[in-house]
Structure 1
Amino acid sequence: MTKSCSHISFPPVLVCVALVAALGLSACGKREEENRDALSERPVLVAQPRVAAQSQGREFAATIRPRVESDLGFRVTGKVVKRFVQAGQKVKAGEPLAALDENDFRLQREQAEAELSAARMVVAQALGDEKRALALRKNGWTTDATLDRIRASAQEARGRQQRAERALELARNSLDYATLRADGDGVVTQTLVEPGQVLGSGQTAIRLAHSGALDAAVSLPEDFAPYADKGAATLTLWSNRGKVYHARLRELSPSADVATRTFAARYAILDADAALALGMSATLSIAAAGPEQVMSVPLSALYNQGDGPSVWKVGADGRLELAPVKLVRLDSDAALVTGGLSPADQIVVLGVHKLEAGRKVRVMTRQTL
């Protein structure tokens, strides 16, 4: 008669051996799984996004120029006999800069004075004739026609006197204009005349930079001209890059230069000091003016599956997750994006097309390579 298996009993020693073997197999399986997970961790090169401005800042070469610079010239034609100033010399308002030969102007003044003296004598005689004619007409000894003729002669004499007075005034002015004077305090930046030179009326003789406010003169390209006043402007001298001056757009040309196709602009230097000298070279930096802060990531970090750009982000558990982003602008070596990124995130920057979501990775940085 066959016995049931349920009645079969095993010695205690065999039972203990079986349990130990089972536990050993379980531990070996766990170690093998852990080893497989460790081997499956893929090393990835990561970097952190940087906060950047949406608009791109620019730098331009600038020249320090005076706010007001006058090209001074004589108001009369003549021959230069003396120049009183040199380039770089400081002058005060009204100080003589150069002088013309005054001989002809003195002769003209003397002639005008003589003509005025003669005109006054004619007026005095005409007034006497008019007075006598009135008396004769009152007594009936002359006609109305004679009186009218004498009155017309007197009126003409008065007109000649007025013309003589104006001519004398013009002659005196011409004599005064023979000396070129500074129209304000400033510095002579250029002298364009020498003694013996004959100048025409209005021809530039002395260039004067007025004391006071200074500007930074720059030339802006066509694509940047509309944004000339959008961002904060700062100025640094080539001779002293440690000092930074603040600037503000004051003047922008409405038309581009025919040759360079650039727009001339002037930025007022708000905190100018004695270190600034006319003609110095400087760099004008116009900061980004975008209202929204965006993240800058390397171009190699962008990944597109066909539904828009994204980046691989390493989660807190060390696994990859795909973070969609919105592309703002591409630069030469970086991309500006917006989306679910922060400066503390770690994003993969190499081999992004060979990764998949949820993959366990081993983080590496350029410092650890």
Structure 2
Amino acid sequence: MQRKSWKKPALIVAVLVAVAMVTSFCRSRETAPAHGNGAPAAVPIRVAAAHRGDLDLTLKVIGRAEAYSTVNVQARVSGQLQELLFKPGGHVKQGDTIIRIDPSLLQAQLDQALGNLAKDEAQLVNAQAVLKRYSLLIGKGYVSQSDYDTYKANEGLYLASVKADKAAVELARTELSYAQIQAPFDGIAGAPLVYPGAQVTANDTSIVVLNQIHPIHITFSIPETGLAGTQASMARGTVPVTATLPGTKLPPMQAELDFINNAVDITTSTIQLKARYDNHDDHLTPGQFVEVVLPTTRLTNVVTVPVVALQNSPLGSFVFVVNADDTVQQRMVSAGPSSNGQIVIEKGLSGDERVVTDGQLLLVDGARVRIVTGNG
């Protein structure tokens, strides 16, 4: 009797479980979505068209802003620094006077040269007058030939002295002009390296460093494998370069490639390139890091789809192609390189299909779909 006592409760439990399973199945059938004649509802998806055409492959690297040109300003004459006419860290205009050297000594040297010139010019006039008088007398025999030759030589000596004096005046005047130093280009001045009152030596003492940043260079390096494609792009015309400042909300800056170095760095197998950016907005300062996007190779007549359309399985890559009857076909494809959100499909698509870009997780081969547009 004790051995049979457990059978009855077990039978009751089994019956209750069976009833629960039947009830759950019925409810799931009642609440299951239906489409048409009891068919599953269409899966909402988003689609994009496959495209046949050209695709520019791009390379993303890190670059650095670099002054278009840098000048270490030095005086061309020795003297005492009199005045700095620029604001450290401020903009300077081409041709503006930014530095003054004390001109007193230079002005005195110019005055001395002018005095020597005036003296020799007066002596030259006198020598020419004497020579003219003796030219009339020598024909009458009143003056010896040797005396005449002496006066003629004196005229030549004074004439040479006047020419030398004029050169000395020009030199003194030029050196005096060097007492005022002008900015060679529009740029930004650094901190002064010497201050008023200091003695500066010609072509030796550095006074300030000027950086030209309008335009500015963006310097970066690419692998040597991308050199041939970049050179081909440059041969076709302007090569656009996009630069972005990381960590900012500034829009991408559009620059133009204008320099390819003449040698590959054998230690890194890279080659240096430079892009020119107008920088009128002063977004870039020399030394800043930037993210650079450079087109390297143009693929012609290739089929591309959005990268998000490509799916992977143990059998390989595939996309879902939308048929005319609003069903999908799982199409195996061979994928190639990608760029700017587009990927090349080397095999499997002809370029006139519609592919699913959102909703693939709910799809199987042959599933019915509903295309969603906009935010719906």
Q: TM-score when scaled to structure 1? A: 0.62
Q: Which residue of 2 aligns with 1:187?
A: 188
Q: 2:222 aligns with which of 215, 220, 223?
A: 220
The alignment partner of 1:285 has SS state of strand
What is the root-mean-square deviation of aligned Cα atoms in Å? 4.3
**Contact 1:301–1:312 (8 Å) recurs in 2:** no
* 1:7-156 equivalences in 2 (<5 Å): 56-65=57-66, 67-156=68-157
State whether residues 93 and 187 of structure 2, in contact with CA within 8 Å, keep that contact through their aligned partners in structure 1: yes
Q: Note the C-alpha offset of 1:171.
A: 0.7
Give, in whole Å, the separation in 2 of the partners of 1:158 and 1:278: 58
The equivalent of 1:198 in structure 2 is 200
Residue-by-residue CA offset, 1:121-148 (whole Å, 9 max, x unaligned): 3212211221221122132212334323
Determine helix, strand or coil for the equivalent of 1:156.
Answer: helix
Answer with 132-141 or 232-241: which moved more.
Answer: 232-241
Structure 2 Cα separation of the partners of residues 136 and 301 of structure 1: 121
- Structure 2 residues not aligned, in runs of 5+: 1-46, 234-238, 357-363, 368-376
Whole-angstrom CA distance in 2 between matches of 1:211 and 1:57:
27
1:293 lines up with 2:302 in the alignment: yes
Assess, with a 3 A threshold, how the Cα gap between structure 1 residues 262 and 131 changes in structure 2: closer, same or farther: farther
Secondary structure of 2:139's match? helix
Q: How far off is 1:77 after superposition?
A: 3.4
Q: Structure 1 pair 171/300, CA: closer, same or farther in 2 (3 Å)?
A: farther
Distance 1:250 1:204, change over 3 A: farther
Match of 1:276 in 2: 283
Task: Quote the offset at 1:161 in angstroms.
Answer: 0.6
CA contact under 8 A between 1:218 and 1:266: conserved in structure 2? yes
User: Aligned match of 1:250 in 246, 249, 258?
Assistant: 258
Q: What is the CA distance between 1:177 and its match in structure 2?
A: 0.2
Q: CA deviation at 1:119?
A: 1.2
Q: 1:220 to 1:298 in 2, by over 3 A?
A: same
1:55 CA drift (Å) = 6.2
Q: Which residue of 2 aligns with 1:14?
A: none
Q: Which has the larger radius of gyration?
A: 1
Q: Cα deviation per residue 1:187-207 (whole Å; 9 max; x = unaligned)?
A: 324544434253332765333
For structure 1, list consecutive stretches of 5 or more residues without a partner in the other structure: 1-47, 304-309, 347-359, 364-369
Shift of 1:174: 0.6
Aligned residue type for 1:57: T
Q: Contact 2:124 / 2:159 at 8 angstroms: preserved in 1?
A: yes
- Following TM superposition, by how much is the alpha carbon of 1:345 offset from its aligned partner in structure 2, in angstroms? 6.8
Call closer, same or farther: CA 1:203–1:226 in 2, change over 3 Å.
farther
SS in structure 2 of the partner of residue 224 of structure 1: helix
